[in-house]
Amino acid sequence: MEKIIIFDTTLRDGEQAPGASLNPKQKLEVAFQLEKLGVDVIEAGFPVASPGDFEAVNDISKKIKKSAVCGLARCIKQDILLAAKAVKPAKHPRVHIFLATSKIHLKYKFRKAEDEILEIAKDATRLARKHCADIEFSPEDATRSERQFIYRVIESVINEGATTINIPDTVGYSYPQEVYSLITDIRNNVPNIEKAVIAIHCHDDLGLSTANSLSAILAGARQVHCTINGIGERAGNASLEEIVMALKTRRDAFGDFFTKINTKEIYRTSRMVSSFTGFLVPPNKAVVGKNAFRHESGIHQDAVLKKKDTYEIMDPADIGFIGSQQIVLGKHSGRHALSSRLKDIGFKFKESQVNKIFQDFKKLADKKKEVFDDDLIALVEEESRKKRKVYELVSARVTTGTDIVPDATVRIKYRNNISESRSTGDGPVDACFKAADKLIGIKSELQDYHLEAVTRGKDAIGEVSLKIKIKESIISGCGSSTDIIEASILAYLDAVNKYAI
Q: What is the pTM of this model?
A: 0.77
Which tens digits make up the pLDDT trace of 280-303? 999 899 999 988 876 656 566 577
Interstrand relation of 473-481 and 462-470 (parallel, antiparallel or unpaired): antiparallel
Helices 266-277 + 373-387 axis angle, to 10:
50
CA torsion through residues 232, 236, 237, 240, sign: positive
Residues 6 or more apart whose CB falls under 8 angstroms from that of 358 comprise 335, 338
- The sheet carrying 444-453 orders its strands as 444-453, 462-470, 473-481
Q: Count CA atoms closer than 13 A to 342's CA, side-chain side.
A: 23
335 sits in which H/E element? helix 335-344
- Give the pLDDT confidence score for residue 369 in this predicted structure: 67
- Give the pLDDT confidence score for residue 18 in this predicted structure: 86
446 near 360, Cβ under 8 Å?
Answer: no
Instruction: Name the DSSP letter for residue 454.
Output: S
Homologous superfamily of the 2-277 domain (CATH): Aldolase class I (3.20.20.70)
- Count of positions (residues) in the chain: 501
- Give the pLDDT confidence score for residue 295 in this predicted structure: 66
Q: Count CA atoms closer than 13 A to 27's CA, side-chain side.
A: 31
- Is 3.50.50.60 the CATH classification of the domain at 388-500? no
Instruction: Name the DSSP letter for residue 24.
Output: H
Rounded CA gap, 53 and 32, in Å? 17
Rounded CA gap, 27 and 44, in Å? 8
Which tens digits make up the pLDDT trace of 45-61? 999 999 999 999 999 99
Closest CA to 381 of 461, 500, 326: 461
**Radius of gyration of the chain measured on its C-alpha atoms:** 25
Question: Which parts of the chain sit beneath pLDDT 70?
Answer: 294-301, 304-305, 322-328, 369, 385-388, 456, 501
| Domain spans, the chain | 2-277, 291-320, 322-378, 388-500
- Give the pLDDT confidence score for residue 123 in this predicted structure: 98
448 near 355, Cβ under 8 Å?
Answer: no
User: With the CA atoms of 97, 102, 105 and 111 taken in that order, what torsion angle do they form, in degrees rounded to the nearest 10?
Assistant: 100
Rounded CA gap, 490 and 492, in Å? 5
- Give the pLDDT confidence score for residue 250 in this predicted structure: 96
- Give the pLDDT confidence score for residue 385 in this predicted structure: 64
128 near 95, Cβ under 8 Å?
Answer: yes
Under DSSP, is residue 262 helix (H, G, I), strand (E, B) or coil?
A: coil
Interstrand relation of 68-74 and 93-100 (parallel, antiparallel or unpaired): parallel
290 sits in which H/E element? none
